[in-house]
Amino acid sequence: MNILILGSGGREHALTWAVKQNPKCDKLIVAPGNAGIAAIAECADLDILDGGAVARFAEEEAIDFVIVGPEAPLAEGVADRLREAGLLVFGPSKDAARLEASKCFTKEICDVANAPTAGYGHFTSSEAAKAHVRKNGAPIVVKADGLAAGKGVIVAMDEQTALDAIDDMFGGAFGGAGAEVVIEEFMEGEEASLFVLVDGEEVLSIGTAQDHKRVGEGDTGPNTGGMGAYSPAPVLSAEIEAKAMEEIVKPTMKAMADRGIPYQGVLYVGLMIKDGQPRLVEYNVRFGDPECQVLMLRLGGQVLDLLQATAEGRLAEAQVNWADDHAITVVMAANGYPGSYEKGTEIKGLAALPEDSMNMAFHAGTKAVDGKILANGGRVLNITARGDNLQEARDRAYAMVDQIDWPEGFVRRDIGWRAL
């Protein structure tokens, strides 16, 4: 099977690593990829938001199966374009990708499905939005409707912060994404994520994870794309997972199918858990980054069979073979991230790291220049390890971190603290 993976982050390095282990995988191309991916697969310089260009490339390379990593091409309709060209694709249609691309759409679907989530109001003018905040008071959550690179959500602990956020959003701080605003009830509890494959009809859980969104130790400081993650998430017990599937995932997936927009791909189910009850925080239409890295290390080569079964509508006959294991990933980021940071600094010591089914240094933002590995982004490496328990996995991951010589980068030293 000839496979094309779209994306260039740590998530796509982990997907590439797992897919490659499956004996069914023949040719493997990643577009655009990164320096870590280039060491295990061919990389192609393609504009992955251009569905026509991706379809032409896939035809030239005799690709059988395309796996879409990030949300942006999905929201652009790249999966639709590829399916029109007759390709097998893992990832939802543009319409179904609205589960991530529009917060209003997701809230509406949750209403139809009667899925437990935060109460909300939906506003197209700042006066009405502000009146809602004044009436309900803080804490309260203000969200730009559209995709805003993870920055469109303000959890306001006081009223003024919420009012300012409304001004920012209607003032164009998030471009088109902020033309509509959702204001939600603040939910208390512990957050965790559930990852579910959906083939339009059937759903299959492929694991749980928790990430650390804040840049600083003890979960302090500004929000980031994620500074580390681990799987499984102990707070998402089998009982709570079953509840989330029955009360949230299955009814919303049925509501999508009933509307004529069946969902196909991986569904990232962000949950808030309090007193044994899960409520939906958000859906994403792709794997989490860095959550994907821990899931891939745990699942290995079977991932290709699972993704293929999803794309072919055969999930009813698929199953996951679990080892009773734990995985953790520690993000190494450039000093200054999530604010401004330097690119192009050299990272040494990577070649000496172990690379096997227990230890992987996934590249998130790197570039190879004259045989050197240079940092090329904010989140740069995802040092990922597996073990019989979380402590063992964590010790392995930090042992690798300590072998890396990169003074211009930093890590959080407390990834996994909640679970340990």
Query: What residue ranges bind ligand GLY (CB under 6 A)?
Result: 211, 225-226, 284, 288-289, 291
DSSP 36-85: HHHTTSEE----TT-HHHHHHHHHHTT--EEEE-SHHHHHTTHHHHHHHT
Choosing among ligand AMP, ligand GLY, none, which partner's interface includes residue 189 (Cβ < 5 to 8 Å by kind)?
Answer: none
Q: How far is CA 360 from the centre of its chain?
A: 19
**Residue ranges in 98-127 that form contacts with ligand AMP under rule CB under 6 A:** 118
The C-alpha atoms of residue 378 and residue 331 are separated, in whole angstroms, by 10
Nearer to ligand GLY, 10 or 33 (CB): 10
Other C-beta atoms closer than 10 Å to the C-beta of 343 total 14
- State yes or no: residue 289 binds ligand AMP (CB under 6 A): no
The one among 253, 281, 400, 415 contacting ligand AMP by CB under 6 A:
281
Q: Which stretch binds ligand AMP (CB under 6 A): 6-14, 81-89, 185-193, 231-239?
A: 185-193
- State yes or no: residue 187 binds ligand AMP (CB under 6 A): yes
The C-alpha atoms of residue 274 and residue 269 are separated, in whole angstroms, by 16
The one among 121, 270, 300, 301 contacting ligand AMP by CB under 6 A:
270
Phi, psi of 126 (to 5 degrees): -70, -30
- With CB under 6 A as the rule, give the number of residues binding ligand AMP: 12
The C-alpha atoms of residue 85 and residue 79 are separated, in whole angstroms, by 10
- State yes or no: residue 221 binds ligand AMP (CB under 6 A): no
Choosing among ligand GLY, ligand AMP, none, which partner's interface includes residue 226 (Cβ < 5 to 8 Å by kind)?
Answer: ligand GLY
The token pair that represents 333 in the structure block:
């980021």
Nearer to ligand GLY, 106 or 284 (CB): 284
The one among 80, 145, 184, 289 contacting ligand AMP by CB under 6 A:
184
Other C-beta atoms closer than 10 Å to the C-beta of 45 total 7
Q: What share of the chain is helix, strand, coil (3-state, %, to 5)?
A: 30, 30, 40
Are 151 and 174 within 8 A, CB to CB? yes
Q: Which stretch binds ligand AMP (CB under 6 A): 63-71, 178-186, 316-324, 389-397?
A: 178-186
Q: Which stretch binds ligand AMP (CB under 6 A): 180-188, 226-234, 237-245, 289-297?
A: 180-188
Longest dimension (CA), the chain: 60
The token pair that represents 120 in the structure block:
């909300």
The C-alpha atoms of residue 190 and residue 82 are separated, in whole angstroms, by 38
Q: In the stretch 315-354, what mask flags binding to ligand AMP with x, by CB under 6 A?
A: ----------------------------------------
Nearer to ligand AMP, 186 or 417 (CB): 186
Nearer to ligand GLY, 184 or 211 (CB): 211
Least CB distance to ligand GLY at residue 141 (A): 16
173 Cβ contact partners less than 8 Å away, ≥ 6 residues apart: none
Least CB distance to ligand AMP at residue 48 (A): 22
Least CB distance to ligand AMP at residue 155 (A): 5
Nearer to ligand GLY, 18 or 364 (CB): 364
Residue 133 CB-density burial (10 A; 0-12 exposed, 13-18 middle, 19+ buried): buried
What residues make contact with ligand AMP under the rule CB under 6 A? 118, 141, 153, 155, 184-187, 191, 270, 281-282
